[in-house]
Structure 1
Amino acid sequence: MLNFKRLHLLYVLIFALTVVGCKDKDVDPAVAAIDSTTTADYPNINSWLYDVMDDAYFWYKNLPAESSLDKTVDPRDYFEKLVYQRATVDRFSAVTDDIDALQDEFDGISKVFGISYSLSYIDNGKSNIAAFLNYVVKGSPAEAAGLKRGDILMKVNGSQLTSSNYTSLLSNNETATFTLGEISGTAIVASNQTVTVTKALVSEDPVLFSTVISKPAYGKTIGYLVYTQFVPGTDADESKYDNELRQVFADFKSKGVNELVLDLRFNPGGYISSAETLASLIGKGVSNSKIFYKEQWNDKYTAYWQKMQGADALNYKFQNEANNIGSALSRVFVLTSNGTASASELVINGLKPYMSVIRIGEHTAGKNLFGRLIGDDQKRWKWGVYLMLGQTANANGESDYGTVNGMKPDYEVEDSTVPYLPFGDENETLLHKALDIMGIPIPQGQRLTSKKTVDTFRKMLHDDLQTKESRMIRGGNLRAIPQ
Structure 2
Amino acid sequence: MNMGRTILPSIVALSLAACGGGGGSGGGSTPGPGTGVTPTPTPPPTTGTCSYSSRAQFVRDTLNEWYLFPELLDLTVNPASFTDVQTYIDALVAPARAQARDRYFTYITSIAEENRLIQTGSNAGFGIRLSYDTAANRVYVLEAFEGAPGFAAGIDRGTEILSINGTSVASLMASGGANAVSDALGPTQAGVTRTLTFRPLGGTDQTREITKTEFSLDPVSDRYGVKLLADGAGGQVGYINLRTFIVQDAGPQLRAAVAQFKAAGVNRVILDFRYNGGGLVSVAKLLGDLLAADKTGQVFSRTVLRPSKSSENETDLFAAQPEAIAATRIAVIGHSGTASASELVANAFIPYLGTGLALVGANTFGKPVGQFAFDRSACDDRLRAVTFRTVNRDGGGDYYTGLASVMPRTCAAGDDFLRPLGDAEEASTKTAVDFLAGRSCTPITAGGGVTAQGAGDRYRLLQSRAPTAAQRENPGLF
Same fold (TM > 0.5): yes
Q: Distance in 1 between matches of 2:50 and 2:201?
A: 56
Aligned match of 1:360? 360
2:284 pairs, out of 275, 279, 286, with 275
Aligned match of 2:73? 63
Aligned match of 1:144? 152
Contact 1:231 1:271 (C-alpha < 8 Å) held by counterparts: yes
Contact 2:163 2:198 (C-alpha < 8 Å) held by counterparts: yes
Cα offset for 1:462? Answer: 5.0
- 2:118 aligned with 1:118, yes or no? no
Q: Which amino acid aligns with 1:363?
A: N
Q: Distance in 2 between matches of 1:181 and 1:277?
A: 39
CA separation of 1:436 and 1:470: change in aligned 2, threshold 3 A? closer
Contact 2:17 2:107 (C-alpha < 8 Å) held by counterparts: no
Aligned match of 2:112? 100
Match runs of 1:77-476 below 5 Å: 77-83=87-93, 84-87=95-98, 88-96=100-108, 98-105=110-117, 108-120=121-133, 126=135, 128-130=137-139, 132-162=140-170, 163=173, 164=176, 165-172=180-187, 174-181=192-199, 191-208=204-221, 209-214=225-230, 218-233=233-248, 240-283=249-292, 285-287=294-296, 289-302=297-310, 304-305=311-312, 314-326=314-326, 329-355=327-353, 356-376=356-376, 379-403=377-401, 405-408=402-405, 410-415=410-415, 417-419=416-418, 421-438=419-436, 459-460=460-461, 466-468=470-472
CA separation of 1:231 and 1:79: change in aligned 2, threshold 3 A? closer
Q: Distance in 1 between matches of 2:398 and 2:423?
A: 34
Q: Which amino acid aligns with 1:41?
A: S
Q: Distance in 2 between matches of 1:127 and 1:422?
A: 22
Q: Which amino acid aligns with 1:340?
A: T
Q: Distance in 2 between matches of 1:138 and 1:65?
A: 46
Cα offset for 1:278? Answer: 0.8
Please give the secondary structure, in 2, of the residue aligned with 1:467. Answer: helix
Cα offset for 1:115? Answer: 0.7
Percent identity of the aligned residues?
A: 24
Aligned match of 1:54? 64
CA separation of 1:440 and 1:291: change in aligned 2, threshold 3 A? closer
Q: Distance in 2 between matches of 1:263 and 1:375?
A: 33
CA separation of 1:97 and 1:254: change in aligned 2, threshold 3 A? closer
Cα offset for 1:344? Answer: 0.3
Q: Distance in 2 between matches of 1:172 and 1:232?
A: 22
Q: Distance in 1 between matches of 2:64 and 2:303?
A: 19
Cα offset for 1:94? Answer: 3.1
Q: Which amino acid aligns with 2:150?
A: A
Larger gyration radius, structure 1 or structure 2: 1
Please give the secondary structure, in 1, of the residue aligned with 2:91. Answer: helix
Cα offset for 1:265? Answer: 0.3
CA separation of 1:51 and 1:452: change in aligned 2, threshold 3 A? closer
Cα offset for 1:373? Answer: 2.5
Aligned length: 410
Cα offset for 1:99? Answer: 3.5
Q: Distance in 2 between matches of 1:50 and 1:371?
A: 16
TM-score (norm 2): 0.77
RMSD: 3.3
Which of structure 1's runs of 4+ aligned residues deviate more than 4 A?
A: 24-29, 37-40, 438-441, 451-458, 461-466
Contact 1:10 1:470 (C-alpha < 8 Å) held by counterparts: no
Q: Distance in 2 between matches of 1:81 and 1:432?
A: 44
Cα offset for 1:460? Answer: 3.2
Cα offset for 1:292? Answer: 0.5
Q: Distance in 1 between matches of 2:168 and 2:417?
A: 19
Q: Which amino acid aligns with 1:89?
A: R
Please give the secondary structure, in 1, of the residue aligned with 2:404. Answer: coil
Contact 2:228 2:236 (C-alpha < 8 Å) held by counterparts: yes
Q: Distance in 1 between matches of 2:252 and 2:201?
A: 40
Q: Distance in 2 between matches of 1:38 and 1:197?
A: 42
Please give the secondary structure, in 2, of the residue aligned with 1:86. Answer: helix
Contact 2:9 2:278 (C-alpha < 8 Å) held by counterparts: yes
Contact 2:414 2:454 (C-alpha < 8 Å) held by counterparts: no
Q: Which amino acid aligns with 1:292?
A: F
Please give the secondary structure, in 2, of the residue aligned with 1:219. Answer: coil
Structure 1 portions without partners, runs of 5+:
30-36, 185-189, 234-239, 306-312, 442-450, 472-483
Cα offset for 1:456? Answer: 5.5
Query: Which deviates more, 244-253 or 206-215?
Result: 206-215
Q: Distance in 2 between matches of 1:325 and 1:73?
A: 53
Query: Which deviates more, 329-338 or 70-79?
Result: 70-79
Q: Distance in 1 between matches of 2:288 and 2:324?
A: 9
Aligned match of 2:42? none
CA separation of 1:470 and 1:255: change in aligned 2, threshold 3 A? closer
The higher relative CO (CA closer than 8 Å, separation ≥ 6) is in 1
CA separation of 1:262 and 1:462: change in aligned 2, threshold 3 A? farther
TM-score (norm 1): 0.76
